[in-house]
């Protein structure tokens, strides 16, 4: 471990913290996804709070702050909390969220009581035990990082071995049971993974904020990919980035590690929620804006085509009167049509170019076909229940179904 730390271009204490944050970020990012994706993030919160009395009881039994013993106590308490949540859910009428709340509050209250009792016990070894509540990365030593690495490696190895059955049980429990997978055992394995991640993070961010390290990387990764394999890799990278940068920033600012790590993670999640390609809020806003402008330009194209058939090429004022649409919208649509080369100007009058006329006829054809679908779609027996795309109904239904729709529309009009 010392050789690995020496390779990090930081002062020794910061290098230990950075390595510990890296282990925590990667492990919590991967393992936390198995709580976030099935919408059971609060289970991670309950297990993190349940770990505190385990730490206290381990200290009381050993009388020393041995990292391995304290983390073992945290793991046992977390597993006991998980078992209680499952028992309450399955043997009573209490809903899952209420069961999680009961276990969280009871175990955390017990932990606070034990922590207070230890602080008044006069045991000189108890100093610093509250770090497991709020976290303190500056107190990490090489031995802590070694324990974190071993636990993290065990958890990640379990994910690697059980990835396919875990995926099946997480996304479709009934299917997993139907093909003979041990669903309950896999749920227990998922709980063990969460406990492993929590055990690793107690010293760094504490029991209170550990849930953020489970949730933030998976939420951030979900904005970038929808497949489980790539999502786990991205979550590991995000967790490492958030953990290391937050820990180093807290050291420089002399601020508590847990809150700084969480704030860094939240800022990253907010940025991805806004800017993630294909999923971000701003990305979606820009896409909807482009669609509205395209629809507005198509509507203007059809209006000009209709007015040209009724008389001479119209002016923009005549189009505005005929369509009853705001003039600013029409002017913007006209600029888009000009740039596309679909409209020509004869003074103030507007006429369609050859490509503009073809585009207008195609738009009118799509409108007629969509109207026929709304009226006669139930008669053509299209397999599946997916609503076709109104912008490309023929492509959605196929030529045979579209031709039949047209025949039905002509027969109804005759």
pLDDT tens digit string along 6-45? 667 777 777 888 888 889 999 999 999 988 888 888 888 8
Joined tokens for residue 279: 């999923």
Question: What distance in Å separates the CA atoms of residue 93 and residue 103, rounded to the nearest whole number?
Answer: 15
> What CATH topology corresponds to 2-277?
ABC transporter involved in vitamin B12 uptake, BtuC (1.10.3470)
On whether the pTM is more than 0.85, the answer is: no
Strands 343-346 and 349-352: antiparallel
Task: Return the structure tokens found at 94.
Answer: 């209490």
Over 70: is that where the pLDDT of 247 sits?
yes
* Residue 7, number of CB atoms within 10 A of its CB: 8
Task: Answer positive or negative: Cα dihedral of 184, 186, 189, 195.
Answer: negative
Instruction: Calculate the alpha carbon distances from 336 to 313, 320, 331, 341, 372 in Å.
Output: 19, 16, 9, 9, 29
What is the Cα–Cα distance from 109 to 119, expressed in whole angstroms?
15
CA–CA gap between residue 202 and residue 131 (Å, rounded): 8
**Per residue in 328-364, pLDDT tens?**
888 898 888 888 889 988 888 888 888 988 988 888 8
SS3 29: helix
Tell me the backbone φ, ψ of residue 350, rounded to 5 degrees: -115, 135
- Measured at the alpha carbon of residue 53, what is the angle toward residues 112 and 130, in degrees to the nearest 5? 55
User: In the chain, where are the structural domains located?
Assistant: 2-277, 283-413
Q: pLDDT tens for residues 168-219?
A: 888 888 888 888 888 888 888 888 888 888 888 887 888 888 888 899 999 9
CATH (residue range 283-413): 1.10.10.10
């Amino acid at each position: 471990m010392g050789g690995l730390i020496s390779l990090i271009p930081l002062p020794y204490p910061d290098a230990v913290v950075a390595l510990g944050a890296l282990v925590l970020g990667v492990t919590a990012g991967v393992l936390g996804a198995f709580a976030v994706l099935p919408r059971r993030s609060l289970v991670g919160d309950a297990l993190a709070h349940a770990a505190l009395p385990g730490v206290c009881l381990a200290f009381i039994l050993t009388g020393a702050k041995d990292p391995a013993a304290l983390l073992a106590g945290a793991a046992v308490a977390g597993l006991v909390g998980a078992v209680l949540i499952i028992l309450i859910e399955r043997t009573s009428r209490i809903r899952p969220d209420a069961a999680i709340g009961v276990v969280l509050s009871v175990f955390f209250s017990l932990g606070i009581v034990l922590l207070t009792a230890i602080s008044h016990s006069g045991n000189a070894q108890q100093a610093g035990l509250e770090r497991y509540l709020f976290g303190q990365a500056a107190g990490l030593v090489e031995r802590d990082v070694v324990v974190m690495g071993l636990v993290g490696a065990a958890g990640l190895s379990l994910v690697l071995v059980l990835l396919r059955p875990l995926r099946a049980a997480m996304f479709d429990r009934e299917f997993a049971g139907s093909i003979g997978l041990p669903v309950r055992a896999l749920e227990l394995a998922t709980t063990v993974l969460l406990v492993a991640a929590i055990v690793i993070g107690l010293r760094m961010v504490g029991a209170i904020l550990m849930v953020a390290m489970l949730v933030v990387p998976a939420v951030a990764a979900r904005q970038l990919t929808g497949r489980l394999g790539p999502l786990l890799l991205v979550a590991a990278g995000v967790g490492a980035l958030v953990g290391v940068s937050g820990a180093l920033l807290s050291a420089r600012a002399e601020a508590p590690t847990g809150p700084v790590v969480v704030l860094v993670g939240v800022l990253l999640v907010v940025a991805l929620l806004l800017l993630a390609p294909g999923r971000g809020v701003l990305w979606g806003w820009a896409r909807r804006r482009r669609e509205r402008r395209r629809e507005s330009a198509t509507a203007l194209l059809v209006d000009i085509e209709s007015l040209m058939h009724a008389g001479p090429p119209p002016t923009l004022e005549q189009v505005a009167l005929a369509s009853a649409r705001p003039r600013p919208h029409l002017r913007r649509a006209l600029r888009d049509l000009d740039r596309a080369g679909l409209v020509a100007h004869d003074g103030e009058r507007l006429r369609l170019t050859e490509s503009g006329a073809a585009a207008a006829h195609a738009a009118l054809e799509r409108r007629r076909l969509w109207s026929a679908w709304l009226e006669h779609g139930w008669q053509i027996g299209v397999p599946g229940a997916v609503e076709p795309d109104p912008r490309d109904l023929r492509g959605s239904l196929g030529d045979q179904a579209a031709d039949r729709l047209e025949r039905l529309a002509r027969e109804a009009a005759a």
